[in-house]
A and B are shown apart, each in its own frame.
Chain A
Amino acid sequence: MRSEGRFRRRRPSCLLGSALALGAAVCFGAAPRVEAASARGSIADTSLAWPSPEELARVLTLSDYNTRVVMLGATLLGLASGIIGTFMLLRKRALMGDALSHATLPGIGLAFMVMAAAGGTGKYLPGLLLGAMISGAIGLGCVLAIRSWTRLKEDAALGIVLSVFFGLGVALLGIVQKMDTGSAAGLESFIYGKTASMLSGDAALIAGAAAVIALTCAALFKEFALLCFDSGYARAQGWPITGLDVVMMVLVVGVTVIGLQAVGLILMIALLVIPPAAARFWTNHLSAMVLVSGLIGALSGLLGAGFSALVPRLPAGAIIVVVGSLIFGFSLLFGPARGWLARTLVQRRLSRKVLRQNLLRAMFEYHEQAEGAAAGVAKEASPGSSLTVAELLARRAWSLRTLRRTLRAAQRDRLVRVDAGVCVVLTREGLAEAQRVVRNHRLWEIYLITHADIAPSHVDRDADELEHVLGATMVRSLEERLAEERPVPALPPSPHSLVGT
């Protein structure tokens, strides 16, 4: 539920992001597009080149050195972003990661200009990434400054920084295209990503960054956990909250920057958010969540890069994200910790339990009335007396189908016997269970009446033992009330006494 909410909140910025990207494409994308189109054939040529069996075999056996490099790089990138993304998501900084990746763009443009002016080619990758890193960090600082110096809320600060920095970046890249020093073609690949252009040096850079991220997260695991869970307590305990936050965000900046080339700044946030969000469906433990998230990220990277190696016209960054979202969808449905299927099963079990309790109560009350009328004082509700299915059907608002299903289940549990298909009889165990259910139900009713102010949050009809929820003293006083309000035969004795007879 929480995570769904988070995604709903993310949506405006995604829209914003894609709108900006579209704008960027319109603004300066035109010239390089034409170049690319002329290199590969007409832009109207939309046919995809599906792989031949030989190509398939080559990719699958990793015999091609380039493919190996690209797949290794994408896998490690997914691993690293899955790990640090877990902490970012739990620190509720997902949007900040998005603003941050967009804020890297002006740094790329400026770094190119500076390097070109200094006489270099301008396309020296470490220099560009350093620029991206610095401008990402400045963007982050702007978010924090706006939030703490003005009365604007965080979402406004993020919106401002994301759009302003991205707009500035697009403008700078536009200027760079027009400069005559150095060739700026290919800079726009930082926006959409171009995995296939990854070289072995880039893969080594990603590997190094992944190692740093994994080691830092392992070393600071408990500190990050405390920071994400309860930062106020952590601060009161003397942990340097700001320092830890800075370390965490620096790692996020780091992974964003090395991922720029592969998946691009627009899609980078997906690699940071989707793996941990998917991992949350599989586990309730933080350490497992970090591992699962890393694995999901790695798997997305591997499969995405592999698939795009097979079909060269498909952009790898987008495929990586698509694979990640497929894994997310699968986790959402089938994750054992909180997936849809697991929740539905719990819900079904609960509704069966309620139906069974209703059946037992209906039968018990029937016996109670019958015997109360016959003898005045019931010695023991005899298991022998029976009730027809039609009579049971009339006692509650349930359909014949539901009733029959409930009866079948109760029969399996040996709580009731259905004689000749129509007469329902409580077995000895059934009677004991019915007594317990009725007693609990009536005590809860009394509790709701006598403690109306606090009761609603405490009522737990499923609790097998009221004493665990309310304490023995409270249950005794409720029992006294019940004994006062109902005549003696109506008070079912504790089921435990019956077990002995």
Chain B
Amino acid sequence: MHRTLADEKTPGLAASHGVAAMAPRPLAPRVATGDEHPATAPLSIHDMTVAYHRKPVLWDIDFDAPDGKLIGIIGPNGAGKSTLLKAVLDLIPKASGRVMVYGEPYRRRRRLVAYVPQRESVDWDFPVSALDVVAMGRYGVIGWCLPVSRKHKAAALAALDRVGMADYAKRQISQLSGGQQQRVFLARALVQDARLCLMDEPFAGVDAATEQAIVRLLQDLRQSGRTVLAVHHDLQTVPEYFDHVVLLNMRIVAQGPTAEVFTPENLHKTYGGRLTLLEQAAQAMARQGRGT
């Protein structure tokens, strides 16, 4: 699976790599070196490199997530955005580096982290209801071999209600629209009540109503002190949705508060000569300028 993905992404990688290598590495505002990583950061990645079959996909990633912020991971196709999340979650091996979640390795902090995979990563034909899927978020709390009790079902239903899907609890998941499926995935993360939430393209292919619902949810999460790290592909909405951004193209091009980092120069370094995307970004910037 990963192998195929990597193979498909290779040409893009090679092309963008050329551009990235030429640009001098900018000193991002929050970049720390050596052992200056704050111990309490929701997520701090030290010098992480990830490779598929000898081809490096992520190089020397050094990143500290600020607490209680909505953080967008932005970058072109094949930049390693999803890979970054998967490596953090130990779903794929790291060639080197260390990942700390609230000052401890991830495997000791699993309860604090919720993960929303890409919607296409599962077979939605599976014979379960929306409520069943959301209840999966509680399995870790329930523990081995015990059935899902009424209490946990109630929690799952409450999470579905938060994403506006309570009426669909009994529906088989293949009968839901793409946006509704995405909301079910979000509810599964919500029911974990985690402090750090990693989302892989939560806005991909969802309808307008769902997009609004997700944005409201993200703001709720921030309000309650949660940290959200989301892979995002739509440059136009970046300034509107995220407090912080990580511009990624195999390596971190820039990271920091959106207002400082989401600039045409940084985007150019991230996306190279992909003009249509740059135009989109310019529009977004213009709108942001009008807004403030």
Pair from one complex: yes
* Residues of chain A having any CB pair with chain B under 8 Å: 2, 90, 92, 151, 219-223, 225-226, 228-230, 232-233, 235-239, 280, 283-286, 289, 451, 454, 457-458, 460, 469-471, 474
Interface string of B110-127 (1 = CB under 8 A from A): 100101010001110111
Interface string of B173-201 (1 = CB under 8 A from A): 00001110000000010000000000000
Residues from chain A with Cβ under 8 Å of B140 in the complex: 237-239
A-B contacts, 12 listed (Cβ < 8 Å): A221-B147, A229-B136, A230-B117, A230-B122, A232-B121, A237-B110, A238-B110, A283-B127, A285-B127, A451-B208, A458-B179, A471-B212
Residues from chain A with Cβ under 8 Å of B179 in the complex: 458
From the candidates B117, B129, B142, name the one contacting A222 in the complex (CB within 8 A). B142
A229 contacts B126, CB within 8 Å?
Answer: yes
B178 contacts A457, CB within 8 Å?
Answer: yes
A289 contacts B127, CB within 8 Å?
Answer: yes
CB distance from A481 to the nearest CB of B (A): 15
B108 nearest CB neighbor, chain A only: A238
Interface string of B206-220 (1 = CB under 8 A from A): 011100100000000
A233 contacts B129, CB within 8 Å?
Answer: no
B133 contacts A229, CB within 8 Å?
Answer: yes
A454 contacts B207, CB within 8 Å?
Answer: yes
B115 contacts A2, CB within 8 Å?
Answer: no
Residues from chain B with Cβ under 8 Å of A225 in the complex: 128, 132, 136
The reply on B172 being an interface residue by CB < 8 A is yes
Residues from chain A with Cβ under 8 Å of B95 in the complex: none
CB distance from B232 to the nearest CB of A (A): 16
B115 contacts A233, CB within 8 Å?
Answer: yes
The reply on B3 being an interface residue by CB < 8 A is yes
- Given A226-B139, A229-B128, A232-B121, the answer on whether A470 and B91 have CB atoms closer than 8 Å is no
Q: How far is A17 from B152 in the complex, measured between Cα atoms in Å?
A: 47
B145 nearest CB neighbor, chain A only: A219
Residues from chain A with Cβ under 8 Å of B129 in the complex: 284-285
A457 contacts B139, CB within 8 Å?
Answer: no
The reply on B107 being an interface residue by CB < 8 A is yes
Q: How far is A361 from B89 in the complex, measured between Cα atoms in Å?
A: 54
Q: How far is A237 from B122 in the complex, measured between Cα atoms in Å?
A: 16
From the candidates A230, A233, A236, A280, name the one contacting B127 in the complex (CB within 8 A). A280
A233 contacts B125, CB within 8 Å?
Answer: no
- Given A222-B148, A226-B136, A236-B91, the answer on whether A469 and B207 have CB atoms closer than 8 Å is yes
Query: Which applies to chain B's interface (DSSP): helix, strand, loop or mixed?
Result: mixed
Residues from chain B with Cβ under 8 Å of A2 in the complex: 123, 125
Q: How far is A93 from B15 in the complex, measured between Cα atoms in Å?
A: 38
Residues from chain B with Cβ under 8 Å of A236 in the complex: 89-91, 110, 113, 115
A237 nearest CB neighbor, chain B only: B140
CB distance from A467 to the nearest CB of B (A): 9
CB distance from B10 to the nearest CB of A (A): 14
CB distance from A73 to the nearest CB of B (A): 29
The reply on B264 being an interface residue by CB < 8 A is no
- Given A236-B89, A454-B207, A474-B208, the answer on whether A228 and B110 have CB atoms closer than 8 Å is no
* Apart from A232-B91, A289-B127, 6 more pairs, CB < 8 Å: A92-B123, A229-B122, A238-B107, A284-B129, A286-B132, A471-B209
Residues from chain B with Cβ under 8 Å of A232 in the complex: 86, 91, 117, 121
B145 contacts A230, CB within 8 Å?
Answer: no
From the candidates B128, B145, B148, name the one contacting A285 in the complex (CB within 8 A). B128
Chain B, range 130-152, C-beta contacts under 8 Å to A:
132-133, 136, 139-140, 142, 144-145, 147-148
Residues from chain A with Cβ under 8 Å of B121 in the complex: 230, 232
Residues from chain B with Cβ under 8 Å of A283 in the complex: 127
The reply on B38 being an interface residue by CB < 8 A is no
Residues from chain B with Cβ under 8 Å of A90 in the complex: 126-127
Interface string of B1-38 (1 = CB under 8 A from A): 00100000000000000000000000000000000000
B121 nearest CB neighbor, chain A only: A232
The reply on B225 being an interface residue by CB < 8 A is no
CB distance from B203 to the nearest CB of A (A): 11
The reply on B205 being an interface residue by CB < 8 A is yes
- Given A237-B110, A457-B178, the answer on whether A222 and B139 have CB atoms closer than 8 Å is yes
CB distance from A176 to the nearest CB of B (A): 41
CB distance from B240 to the nearest CB of A (A): 16
A222 contacts B147, CB within 8 Å?
Answer: yes
CB distance from B55 to the nearest CB of A (A): 13
Interface string of B150-179 (1 = CB under 8 A from A): 000000000000000000000010000111
Residues from chain B with Cβ under 8 Å of A469 in the complex: 207, 209
Q: How far is A377 from B31 in the complex, measured between Cα atoms in Å?
A: 68
Residues from chain B with Cβ under 8 Å of A226 in the complex: 136, 139
Q: How far is A78 from B243 in the complex, measured between Cα atoms in Å?
A: 58
CB distance from A388 to the nearest CB of B (A): 41
Q: How far is A65 from B133 in the complex, measured between Cα atoms in Å?
A: 48
Interface string of B245-264 (1 = CB under 8 A from A): 00000000000000000000
Q: How far is A230 from B177 in the complex, measured between Cα atoms in Å?
A: 19
CB distance from B277 to the nearest CB of A (A): 15
A288 nearest CB neighbor, chain B only: B127
CB distance from A406 to the nearest CB of B (A): 27
Interface string of B31-65 (1 = CB under 8 A from A): 00000000000000000000000000000000000
A280 nearest CB neighbor, chain B only: B127
A233 contacts B117, CB within 8 Å?
Answer: yes
Pick the most buried of A232, A285, A457: most chain B CB atoms within 10 A of its CB.
A232
B209 contacts A233, CB within 8 Å?
Answer: no
Pick the most buried of A151, A233, A235: most chain B CB atoms within 10 A of its CB.
A233
From the candidates B128, B147, B207, name the one contacting A470 in the complex (CB within 8 A). B207
Residues from chain B with Cβ under 8 Å of A474 in the complex: 208-209
CB distance from B176 to the nearest CB of A (A): 12
A286 contacts B147, CB within 8 Å?
Answer: no
CB distance from B100 to the nearest CB of A (A): 16
| The 10 A-B residue pairs with the shortest CB-CB distance in the complex, in nearest-first order | A284-B172, A471-B209, A236-B89, A458-B207, A238-B110, A236-B115, A219-B145, A230-B122, A286-B127, A2-B125
Residues from chain A with Cβ under 8 Å of B178 in the complex: 457
Q: How far is A215 from B269 in the complex, measured between Cα atoms in Å?
A: 58
CB distance from B143 to the nearest CB of A (A): 10
Pick the most buried of A236, A283, A471: most chain B CB atoms within 10 A of its CB.
A236
- Given A90-B126, A229-B126, A229-B133, the answer on whether A458 and B208 have CB atoms closer than 8 Å is yes
Residues from chain B with Cβ under 8 Å of A454 in the complex: 207-208
Q: How far is A226 from B91 in the complex, measured between Cα atoms in Å?
A: 16
CB distance from B272 to the nearest CB of A (A): 24
CB distance from B155 to the nearest CB of A (A): 15
Q: How far is A289 from B209 in the complex, measured between Cα atoms in Å?
A: 34
Q: How far is A284 from B173 in the complex, measured between Cα atoms in Å?
A: 9
Q: How far is A457 from B208 in the complex, measured between Cα atoms in Å?
A: 11
From the candidates B91, B139, B208, name the one contacting A235 in the complex (CB within 8 A). B91
Interface string of B70-97 (1 = CB under 8 A from A): 0000000000000000100111000000
